[in-house]
A = this chain, B = another copy of it.
């Protein structure tokens, strides 16, 4: 049995958006310390790892850890109905998840079927000895991805002693973008070893899409290894992994 309450229904919507951008089904693990979800996207090239601590909820009653598998696309649609000033209540409803929006003068109760998605929970985060850490302003990273998108469906990231470089190349031309440390875009550069890798741009855009404006995103890189992307939405913590693109 569990009963979770969030004071701002729209905040929970942002959290779910950050997951559904990669995966359309997933299992929330509702435990004493908080709610987590880990899943591979259907193509298997990326992973999302989500955790929100119990302190983010105004009511958090969980008598034992429970796995709740959901169609996240449907959950997203339901959460899209959140209005200003609405609280959100999520309750165990047997083979359904009960979602209640509580406004000052009305109540809306949704029931969402619980799915059996055991295998989804088995994924572990990859262990990579990253060589470079780059912390960027989220809006700058969104612009960088857009720049590259005008030329290619892939983007190269490269770090050097004191710079973060972005590369893209297509029939329409080439892009080389240089961001120095301690600037508007770059909040922190921590380079143990110069690194470079190329990634699928669409996946990066989907990963970054839910990241709040004017916040920080951290990229961890190792040459030709998966990238790790971290950001927070309020108290919720997101970690994504994306496999590198190997030119053949």
Q: Is A94 an interface residue (CB 8 A)?
A: no
Contacts of A173 in B (CB 8 A): 74, 78, 96, 110-113
Establish whether residues A172 and B112, one from each chain, have CB atoms under 8 Å apart when the complex forms: yes
Question: Are B106 and A150 closer than 8 Å at their CB atoms?
Answer: no
Copies of this chain present: 3
A76: nearest chain-B partner, CB-CB: B150
Chain B residues with CB below 8 A from A143, complex form: 81, 83
> Among B77, B104, B109, B184, which residue has its beta carbon within 8 angstroms of that of A177?
B109
Interface residues of A in 75-112 (CB under 8 A from B): 77-78, 80-81, 83, 96, 104-112
- Measured between C-beta atoms, what is the minimum distance from A221 to chain B in Å? 19
Question: Known interface pairs A83-B143, A143-B83, A172-B71. Does A108 touch B78 (Cβ–Cβ under 8 Å)?
Answer: no
What is the chain B residue whose CB lies nearest that of A109?
Answer: B176
A157-179 CB contacts (< 8 Å) to partner B: 171-179
